Amino acid sequence: MAKAWVLHKIGDISLEEVAVPEPASGEVRIKVKAAGICGSDIPRIYKNGAHRMPLISGHEFSGVVDSVGKDADPSLVGKRVGVYPLIPCRECEPCREGSYELCRHYDYVGSRRDGAFGEYVTAPADNLIELPDEVAFEQAAMLEPMAVAVNAVRKGTDRFTVDREKKVTVIGLGTIGLFIAMFLKEAGYNNIYVIGNKEGQKKRAESLGIDRYICSTDDISEAYDSSVIFECVGKADTIALAIDMAGAFGRVTLVGNPYGDVELERDLYWKILRNQLTITGVWNSRFNGQSDDDWHYVLERLRDRKIEPEKMITHRLSLEDFEKGFLIMRDKSEDYCKVLMKIE
């Protein structure tokens, strides 16, 4: 038996003894070493529920392969790994083109099948990315949100073809927004504005070397006429703000999950037309096993110590104390960014 946090119904989650999962054909079992709480986990637990329940949530994690199923490579046992949580069908049109993140019939670790908020989790061997010795488990547990940020940066900057001196603005400084700022900085963009609403966000932005922090309640006019804008909140007013702030031929990248319906006033729609804006949506991250996908992009920079995502960790909790992290994020009772579970 093993321990895991089991979601039985909305608001009903508890640490329980569960059977140790057995890997199916082509899968491996991973002993979890670190797992992070995604912002999407909180409404899944406390508001909307999951695709199926009972469920063990958790899709941001790393660990060690301790068992393999039929048709999986036995040499994987003992490997330190991160895991791409989206499991593609590999049969639909996007999958046939190698765009697995756009799969029309995907499974997903931690929302459609059991995830990593426990001692063990199973996943397809094809979804593994092996970790270099230089990369710590807690860093690797943030591979997924960092890869999402890289996907957004690549889309928003047209794969880094936008002039590094152009004005770039990030609206919303949750984990993804901060990681977007981090990768923009690492890629050499020098004119980055970030808009947030918390003192802790300002300090974390400064730790990344970004000093153009603007509180959302202050005058934000200096960030107007940006060439590239990342909207990382998902609310109607911040989406409208992103469009309004964009300069001529500006690129607006929508990253935040929507809170509700979004309507555009006519004047904003005119601005899209008259400024000839490009508005792009991003979803998930690209993982196809190739060296240039989003996950390998992140891993290379972790290995070479070009980024320090551990600066975003505000809480490190044990498996037994992990519910504290859910409640902090639900109630916003403390300043937080990345809340992590660590299992020794």
Same domain, residue pair 176 and 108: no
| pLDDT recorded at residue 160 | 97
Compute the distance between CA of residue 293 and CA of residue 232 in angstroms, rounded to an integer.
22
86: its two tokens: 């989206």
Confidence label for 220 from pLDDT (cuts 50, 70 and 90): very high
Determine the pLDDT at residue 289: 87
Last residue within a domain, chosen from 281, 297, 331: 281
For residue range 228-243, what is the model confidence (pLDDT) as tens digits?
A: 999 999 999 999 999 9
Dihedral sign computed on CA atoms, order 342, 32, 333, 54: negative
* Residue 344 banded pLDDT, cuts 50, 70, 90: confident
Q: Return the CATH number at 15.
A: 3.90.180.10
* Secondary structure letter of residue 232 according to DSSP: -
Specify the amino acid at residue 50: A
Determine, yes or no, domain membership for 26.
yes
**What is the tally of structural domains in the chain?**
2
Q: Is residue 189 part of a domain?
A: yes
Question: Are 61 and 83 a contacting pair, CB within 8 Å?
Answer: yes
Give the residue numbers spanning the domain of 319. Answer: 2-130+308-342
Quick check: is 30 in a domain? Answer: yes
CB burial readout 290-301, b (16+ within 10 A) else e? eeebbbbbbbeb
Are both 118 and 76 inside the same structural domain?
A: yes
Q: Over pLDDT 70: what percentage of the chain?
A: 100
Q: Which of 281, 297, 316 is the last residue of a domain?
A: 281
Q: Using an 8 Å Cβ cutoff, are 182 and 205 in contact?
A: no
Tokens standing for residue 76: 């994987």
In a domain, 291, yes or no: no
Per-position DSSP letters for 307-340, written without gaps between them: --GGGGEEEEE-STTTHHHHHHHHHT-S--SEEE
Q: Considering the domain boundaries, does residue 286 fall inside one?
A: no
CA neighbor of 51 nearest in space, from 107, 100, 11 = 107
Residue 140 placed within a domain: no
57 and 103 part of one domain: yes
**Residue 6 β-bridge partners:** 14, 56
- Rounded average pLDDT over 193-211: 95
How high is the pLDDT of residue 265?
Answer: 95
Q: How many CB atoms lie within 10 A of CB 272?
A: 16
Specify the CATH number for the domain of residue 180: 3.40.50.720
Confidence label for 126 from pLDDT (cuts 50, 70 and 90) = very high
Tokens read off for 42: 């909180």
Does residue 158 fall inside a structural domain?
A: yes
What is the structure's pLDDT at 98? 94
What mean pLDDT comes out for the span 50-68? Answer: 97
According to the model, what pLDDT value does residue 305 have? Answer: 97
* Average pLDDT of span 262-288: 96
User: Which of residues 281, 296, 323 is at a domain's end?
Assistant: 281
Domain match, 168 and 238 both = yes
Q: Do 126 and 151 lie in a common domain? A: no
The answer to whether residues 108 and 167 belong to one domain is no
Per-residue confidence at 14, pLDDT binned at 50, 70, 90?
A: very high
Residues found in the chain: 344
Backbone angles phi, psi at 239, to 5 degrees: -65, -45
Kindly state whether residues 337 and 246 are assigned to the same domain: no
Q: Would you place residue 259 in the very low, low, confident or very high pLDDT band (cuts 50, 70, 90)?
A: confident
Q: What is the mean pLDDT of residues 217-221?
A: 93
Q: Do 83 and 150 belong together in one domain?
A: no
Rounded to the nearest integer, the mean pLDDT of the chain is: 97
Residues 158 and 37 in one domain: no
pLDDT in tens, 64-113: 999 999 999 999 999 999 999 999 999 999 999 999 999 999 999 999 99
Q: Are 137 and 305 in contact (CB under 8 A)?
A: no
Mean pLDDT to the nearest integer, 169-190 = 97
Whether residue 179 is contained in a domain is answered as yes
Same domain? 153 vs 270: yes
Which residue in 286, 277, 344, 282 sits closest to 316, CA to CA?
344
Are 275 and 163 in a shared domain? yes
Two structure tokens written together for 203:
């300090």
User: Domain check: are 85 and 114 in the same one?
Assistant: yes
Which ranges constitute the DSSP H helices of the chain? 41-46, 93-96, 137-140, 143-156, 175-186, 199-207, 236-245, 266-274, 294-303, 323-331
